[in-house]
């Protein structure tokens, strides 16, 4: 059993980390922090964790073997720097260590508190960087939207086929966190659907970075438009791809067959990504670490599209973090994670 | 007061017609039909209509001045033919009289029972065909998705700018009607989001027809992907447009300004379509006949997109029908219709 | 046309008043206030009111014929006092003028800013006090829960039958208002159901006051337990009544028949209250001013219960206010109000 | 590893059994049946079970060590009789073996196909019958509503305090199963709340039987009124208890303290039932096997009430079944079951 510490357990990603690690066969939660609630028991803050008997502390109080952070950006890098310096393995769910390019970070998030740490960080998407994650001591868990979009487009990018893409993504409200805002107020959001971030969204550069690297291109233009679904968990990204040439047969059915083969072979060794025979729905992934994909070719126009579904708090955050933890510690990649959604 | 008859009042569009006409200042509901429920009072079938005291009949029993039909396709044309022959003004909410091209109809809906009636029909979108609707005695109310998509793209098509488009549309579940299906079962759909119709959807040809006509082009390729939102009413279509040339300034903000002017001028005289200063949400239209639009230009990629919101049962069906009725009868176009949504 | 002013238009009750009065045939909205948003257009605050062209002001700027207030308690009495002193008819949606007994008010709401105004106020439930409302210049619109509970139990109380009651009430989240709180946060409330106010709820004394007066008893003990439903609008109160003696036949079916007659006769002249042949659901009242009732007798235990449904923002607040306005001004009691819900 | 067979895997309870047993550390799923879908793979029927590779069969094909049935009543007894005769341990989620009294069964469910099997059956609520379940070879998993209500009232009944009760229960829609009905249609149920079963509900006799036995009384009258919540999973029962005498201090706070002690001591050794310091909500139990309780005393009237929350598909069906399986097989009572809900 390794001893894990969770920093900022009091948001949704933190609570999900606590849920997963409390039942992880190889991990013991040694300490959890959350400044605004320090002094309470965890179960006072989150009654669903009534059976997890831990105090919420100001600082990680125990020696821990690994640190998982659910702090927001900027606070994350500042708080994690000493742990990194001490050589403790760190898994960070914020944006602080995702982008290689500091100027890109600063355009969306403001000044970076610890830019010198960037070169040592690994982008924590096991399906693209599994070996690097195994060797890394600082892993940046991808954003929820990028997880869905990159997994949806990676096989095309890696084949050199992807010229540009439109990612029309839809997310449950938990992606906006636990803080109070008008746009997370029940009466505003319930039975309602909206687009947002039309002036640009900070998750776009991650998609461009990872797909560009895969495609060995300077740049793959990605138009990203997020939408808010009146439900709690789940992301569905519909990714419209413009391909660079005559990669696919002109008949839509044949083209789809080629695509499916491409996707199945790309994800062959990855236990949480599955190419589905029918279009998936978000609830099929609820509470699980799965990413379900459906590549398609429009019968009228020949447009290539890929539907990608995840649970934003799981594969898109806490589940992805635990998957990285498993790799870093040499555990079974699936330990403590389910591939079965809570359905219905 | 004119006397209206509603055929097939027992589905959601029929019930919505009854709600609207029961409170319409110029209309009296003379008769309503619905074969499976014939013999009951309307309020037994729909308790929310408890104050509307009418029997559900097998056939329209009274002489009526106008017929509104909420029958499904094929049944509609067959049932309406005698009324049309008798010269009664007819407003049909099915697909039977929307497509000019019989072969296109037959590809999606099967054999047309009354193809000879097609040339006499008018596509009932007042924002494109107001004068023709005023003169028409057979009006085909557009599909809900086409209403949102066409209104979202019409200013671009009419300017000759539109080369192709991807319509990523999201609809509440009431669009699938009142019949029982697994895909309308609460436990399957609630807290869930999915794409469907990926093999092609019958609403695509309407979009292609109307936008092609406006653009005076043989064809504008439209990729249409519908999605199901876990809520009852509302459609939001995110329409990604590829323009044919250098119509817009290269700076995204300037380009957006040109777009907004284009849209505002196109809809200047139309009381139910509004260009919004911020991205609209579906609930802002709930129960109203409004269509709210937000044209935009992506700051990263320059991609042009338009968000379009309606209530699918209102502007997308029964509300659109009443707007046509008002025009055909020479009433105020807004009579019996609200532009204010039921929010929150 | 009379000129109405709405104070504090920026909450849900205020917005609903604006929606109703904007389409009221006898009323013009002369002025609306809302301090935190003063200086904006109403449509900036509430995009669904895009067609209502009004500025939000700090103070009522125009001479108005009637004032409707959606301020919270305490603020209401303080702000309305000058209007009352000036003789302007006032309709208040807060708790400030509902309770006759200042000490009861102060137990739940704190010090009353204008206790001298209480004797001049009328409890604005037209089904109990229609004549008094017609004559009143200061009407206190009942709370949403009391509206549902009192209408559900009034025929029993007025008959002298009611000895005590348990009101198990369930409300949509809009009843908690537009302010941000953890208990109105979408991710906390969605797909969730809870009881609250178990330590006592401030709406209980209204029920006790009105039912006690009707029953000409010193006191009718009312146990009131509210619950939160994961939806926006609607209250359903299940009212379990203990009767004082052998009022009903022992056979449950016969007993139910007696009850139904009692209820139908009590509400005979009231256009918005309807005794239903089957148990009603909240959505049948959505957006309407209806209250739907279903009295019942348990076949196993003989327990008397009454189900009562309203839209909390309509009959439970803004709709009730407009109904009082109509009475005070001598309009048709139903003017500007619908009895048909927005279903589905 | 024991080999389990699931009969009728194609409903929600069957699917939940498959989810739980697929990840149970001591169980292997040997065979699953479902006549209407026989011949398909399980993942075709339920895509969320994509990683569980099993065919759906007509009959249990393998020798199995234990049978779990999710068949409806009548079909269950008929189908299970041969397995029972063969001595295979059987856990049945239907009503067929819950009621000791055949005439009570026949009043609600029709003729019993195997009345001779009733004396050998154990009511599968471990918190009341743990030792009997350990010894039993035929266990009847309680209904979802009875699970919540009985656990909510058992400490009062067992103390001899309970004279009668009103159980006002609210359930998510999944309790109505996967079959298509108007009352499970998304557009009818979403954003809606209703009471049903007002003419009597078949879950009432279970409550009366178990609470009566505990209380050693001939009869404890239970008024049971179920309601439908617009969400998928979860039951909250608000149980109003009339006590037989002066068991509690007259001061509500002191009375509540006595109650809490009574409840905590009653459930001391039961890992899934927890007395909560604050009123629980259903989502705190989602996907878990927990039952969360909150006994209370009304400060105004002294009325005793108890809030009880479960996940109806878990503790109220499949989770309860697995808990019984664990006891019957001598496993840890908690094996394969979580006490942590999927929140938010």
Question: What is the 3-class SS of chain D, one letter each residue?
Answer: CEEEEEECCCCHHHHHHHHHHHCCCCEEEEEEECHHHCCCEHHHHCHHHCCCCCEEECCCCCCCCEEEECCCCCHHHHHHHHHHHCCCCEEECCCCCCCCCHHHHHHHHCCCCCHHHHHHCEECCHHHHHHHHHHCCEEECCCHHHHHHHHHHHHHHHCCCEEEEEEEEEECHHHHCCCCCHHHEHHHHCCCCEECCCCCCCCHHHHHHHHHHHHCCCCCCEEEEEEECCCCCCEEEEEEEEECCCCCCCCHHHHHHHHHHHHHHHCCCCCCEEECCCCCEHHHHCCCCCEEEEEEECCCCCCEEEEEEECCCHHHHHHHHHHHHHHHHCCCCCCCCCCCCCCC
* Neighbour-count burial of A4, counting CB atoms closer than 10 A to its CB (0-12 exposed, 13-18 middle, 19+ buried): buried
Q: Are B340 and B315 in contact (CB under 8 A)?
A: no
B183 lies in some domain:
yes
Predicted confidence band of residue D216 (pLDDT cuts 50, 70, 90): confident
Token duo for residue D328:
């019957």
Record: contact D196-C279, CB cut-off 8 A: yes
- pLDDT tens per residue across span D135-178: 999 999 999 999 999 999 999 999 999 999 999 999 999 999 99
B177 and B75 assigned to the same domain: no
Q: Average the pLDDT over D291-302 and give the result.
A: 96
- pLDDT tens per residue across span B242-277: 998 778 999 999 999 999 999 999 999 999 999 999
Residue C131 confidence (pLDDT) above 80: yes
Closest CA to A94 of A105, A107, A83, A82: A105
Predicted confidence band of residue C37 (pLDDT cuts 50, 70, 90): very high
Taking only the tens of pLDDT, chain A with its 344 residues reads 999 999 999 999 999 999 999 999 999 999 999 988 999 999 999 999 999 999 999 999 878 999 999 999 999 999 999 999 999 999 999 999 999 999 999 999 999 999 999 999 999 999 999 999 999 999 999 999 999 999 999 999 999 999 999 999 999 999 999 999 999 999 999 999 999 999 889 999 999 999 999 988 878 999 999 999 999 999 999 999 999 877 899 999 999 999 999 999 999 999 999 999 999 999 999 999 999 999 999 999 999 999 999 999 999 999 999 999 999 999 999 999 999 999 99
Token duo for residue C204:
């209980």
Whether chain D has a CB inside 8 Å of the CB on B122: the answer is: no
Given A168, A193, A198, which is nearest B231 (Cβ)? A193
Cα A34 from Cα C283, distance rounded (Å): 41
CATH code, C26: 3.40.50.720
Whether chain D has a CB inside 8 Å of the CB on A164: the answer is: no
C39 lies in some domain:
yes
Whether chain B has a CB inside 8 Å of the CB on A85: the answer is: no
- pLDDT tens per residue across span B179-200: 999 999 999 999 999 999 998 8
Q: Average the pLDDT over C85-95 and give the result.
A: 97
User: Can you give the pLDDT at residue D42?
Assistant: 97
ipTM at complex level: 0.97
Chain B residues within 8 A of D184 when measuring between CB atoms: 185-187
Local structure of C11: helix, strand or coil: coil
CA D308 to chain C, closest CA, distance in angstroms equals: 10
Closest CA to B320 of B130, B87, B114: B130
CA A202 to chain C, closest CA, distance in angstroms equals: 22
B75 and B95 assigned to the same domain: yes
Residue D269 confidence (pLDDT) above 90: yes
Chain A residues within 8 A of D342 when measuring between CB atoms: 19, 48, 286-287, 342
User: Can you give the pLDDT at residue D244?
Assistant: 87
B60 and B183 assigned to the same domain: no
Q: Are C310 and C147 in contact (CB under 8 A)?
A: yes
Whether chain C has a CB inside 8 Å of the CB on A231: the answer is: yes
Predicted confidence band of residue B61 (pLDDT cuts 50, 70, 90): confident
Rounded CA Rg of chain D: 20
The pair phi, psi for residue D49, each rounded to 5°, is: -100, 30
B225 and B244 assigned to the same domain: yes
Q: Average the pLDDT over C131-139 and give the result.
A: 98
Closest CA to B172 of B147, B190, B187, B153: B190
Task: Find the residue in A nearest to D310 (Cα).
Answer: A48
pTM metric for this prediction: 0.98
User: Can you give the pLDDT at residue D281?
Assistant: 98
Whether chain A has a CB inside 8 Å of the CB on C36: the answer is: no
Residue D217 confidence (pLDDT) above 90: no
A344 lies in some domain:
no
Closest CA to B69 of B44, B37, B99, B32: B32
CA A336 to chain C, closest CA, distance in angstroms equals: 24
D209 and D133 assigned to the same domain: no
Whether chain A has a CB inside 8 Å of the CB on D336: the answer is: no
C290 lies in some domain:
yes
Q: Average the pLDDT over C140-153 and give the result.
A: 98
The CB-side HSE value for C293 (13 A sphere, CA atoms) comes to 31
User: Can you give the pLDDT at residue D245?
Assistant: 76
Token duo for residue B252:
């995204």
Taking the mean position of all CA atoms in its chain, how far away is CA A23?
A: 21
Number of compact structural domains in chain C: 2
The pair phi, psi for residue C17, each rounded to 5°, is: -60, -45
Q: Tokens 């019957």 correspond to what residue?
A: D328
Record: contact C343-B15, CB cut-off 8 A: yes
The CB-side HSE value for A227 (13 A sphere, CA atoms) comes to 30
Q: Tokens 């269950």 correspond to what residue?
A: D76
Q: What is the DSSP string of C247-307?
A: -S-SSHHHHHHHHHHHHHHHTTT-TTEEE-SS--BGGGGTTS--EEEEEEE-TTT--EEEE
Residue of C93, C144, C239, C324 with catalytic role: C144
Q: Which residues pair with C195 in a beta bridge?
A: C227
Record: contact C186-A191, CB cut-off 8 A: no
Lay out the sheet containing A273-275: strands in order across: A194-195, A222-228, A162-171, A235-243, A304-310, A291-297, A273-275
- pLDDT tens per residue across span B302-337: 999 999 999 999 999 999 999 999 999 999 999 999
B45 and B172 assigned to the same domain: no
Helix, strand, coil percentages for chain B (3-state, nearest 5): 40, 20, 40
Average pLDDT in chain B: 96
Residue C62 confidence (pLDDT) above 80: no
DSSP assigned state of B182: G
β-strands B90-92, B66-69: how paired? parallel
Q: Tokens 């001045």 correspond to what residue?
A: B65
Record: contact C48-B341, CB cut-off 8 A: yes
Whether chain A has a CB inside 8 Å of the CB on D38: the answer is: no
Q: Is the peptide bond before C344 cis (omega within 30 degrees of 0)?
A: yes
CA D329 to chain C, closest CA, distance in angstroms equals: 34
Percent of chain A with pLDDT over 90: 95
User: Can you give the pLDDT at residue B290?
Assistant: 98
Q: Average the pLDDT over D295-317 and give the result.
A: 97
Record: contact B48-C288, CB cut-off 8 A: yes
Q: Tokens 């239209």 correspond to what residue?
A: B285
Q: Tokens 């055909």 correspond to what residue?
A: B328
Closest CA to B199 of B176, B180, B237, B225: B225
List chains touching A (3+ CB pairs under 8 A): B, C, D
Cα A236 from Cα A293, distance rounded (Å): 10
Token duo for residue C194:
């809870």
B92 lies in some domain:
yes
B134 and B75 assigned to the same domain: yes
- pLDDT tens per residue across span B213-232: 998 887 899 999 999 999 99
List chains touching D (3+ CB pairs under 8 A): A, B, C
User: Can you give the pLDDT at residue B199?
Assistant: 83
C174 lies in some domain:
yes
Whether chain B has a CB inside 8 Å of the CB on A233: the answer is: yes
- pLDDT tens per residue across span C189-211: 999 999 999 988 999 999 999 99
Whether chain B has a CB inside 8 Å of the CB on C174: the answer is: yes
Please confirm, yes or no, whether B309 is among the known catalytic residues. no
CA C232 to chain B, closest CA, distance in angstroms equals: 7
Cα A263 from Cα A275, distance rounded (Å): 7
Q: Are C275 and C264 in contact (CB under 8 A)?
A: yes
DSSP assigned state of B156: H
Cα D58 from Cα A115, distance rounded (Å): 62
Chain A residues within 8 A of B196 when measuring between CB atoms: 279
Closest CA to A10 of A58, A51, A53: A58
Whether chain A has a CB inside 8 Å of the CB on D319: the answer is: no
Within 10 Å of residue A254's Cβ, how many Cβ atoms? 12
User: Can you give the pLDDT at residue D315?
Assistant: 98
A158 and A215 assigned to the same domain: yes
Cα C164 from Cα D166, distance rounded (Å): 14
CA D230 to chain B, closest CA, distance in angstroms equals: 8
User: Can you give the pLDDT at residue A217?
Assistant: 81
Percent of chain C with pLDDT over 90: 95
B33 and B70 assigned to the same domain: yes
C83 and C203 assigned to the same domain: no
CATH code, B289: 3.30.360.10
| Chain A residues 234-293 within an 8 A CB cutoff of chain D | 274, 276-278, 280-281, 283-288, 290, 292
User: Can you give the pLDDT at residue B217?
Assistant: 81
D248 and D296 assigned to the same domain: yes
User: Can you give the pLDDT at residue B19?
Assistant: 98
Chain B residues within 8 A of C42 when measuring between CB atoms: none
Predicted confidence band of residue D200 (pLDDT cuts 50, 70, 90): confident
Token duo for residue A141:
């868990």
Enclosing domain of residue A110:
2-142+316-329
Given D193, D281, D286, which is nearest C231 (Cβ)? D193
β-strands D194-195, D222-228: how paired? antiparallel
Record: contact C294-D240, CB cut-off 8 A: no
C335 lies in some domain:
no
Residue C246 confidence (pLDDT) above 80: no
Whether chain D has a CB inside 8 Å of the CB on B36: the answer is: no
C224 and C111 assigned to the same domain: no
Record: contact D187-B184, CB cut-off 8 A: yes
Predicted confidence band of residue D247 (pLDDT cuts 50, 70, 90): confident
A304 lies in some domain:
yes
């Amino acid at each position: 059993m390794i001893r894990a510490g969770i920093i900022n357990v009091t948001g949704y990603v933190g609570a999900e980390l606590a849920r997963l690690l409390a039942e992880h066969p190889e991990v013991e939660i040694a300490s959890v922090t959350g400044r605004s609630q320090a002094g309470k028991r965890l179960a006072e803050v989150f009654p669903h964790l009534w059976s997890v008997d831990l105090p919420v502390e100001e600082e990680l109080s125990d020696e821990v073997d690994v640190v998982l952070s659910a702090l927001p950006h900027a606070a994350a890098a500042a708080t994690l720097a000493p742990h990194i310096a001490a050589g403790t393995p760190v898994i960070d769910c914020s944006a602080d260590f995702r982008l290689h390019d500091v100027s890109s970070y600063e355009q969306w998030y403001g000044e970076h508190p610890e830019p010198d740490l960037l070169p040592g960080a690994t982008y924590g998407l096991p399906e693209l960087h599994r070996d690097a994650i195994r060797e890394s001591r600082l892993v940046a868990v991808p954003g929820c939207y990028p997880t869905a979009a990159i997994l949806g487009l990676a096989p095309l990018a890696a084949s050199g086929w992807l010229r540009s893409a439109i990612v029309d993504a839809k997310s449950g409200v938990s992606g906006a966190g636990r803080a109070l805002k008008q746009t997370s107020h029940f009466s505003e959001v319930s039975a309602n659907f909206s687009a947002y971030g039309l002036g640009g969204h900070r998750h776009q550069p991650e998609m461009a970075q990872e797909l560009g690297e895969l495609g060995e291109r300077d740049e793959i233009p990605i138009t990203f438009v997020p939408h808010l679904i009146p439900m709690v968990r789940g992301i569905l990204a519909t990714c419209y791809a413009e391909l660079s040439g005559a990669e696919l047969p002109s008949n839509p059915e044949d083209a789809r067959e080629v695509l499916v083969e491409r996707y199945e072979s790309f994800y062959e060794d990855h236990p949480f990504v599955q190419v589905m025979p029918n279009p998936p729905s978000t609830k099929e992934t609820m509470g699980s670490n799965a990413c379900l994909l459906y590549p398609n070719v429009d019968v009228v126009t020949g447009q290539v599209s890929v539907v990608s579904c995840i649970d934003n708090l799981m594969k898109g955050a806490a589940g992805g973090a635990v998957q990285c933890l498993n790799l870093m510690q040499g555990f079974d990649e699936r330990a403590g994670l389910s591939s079965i959604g809570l359905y219905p």
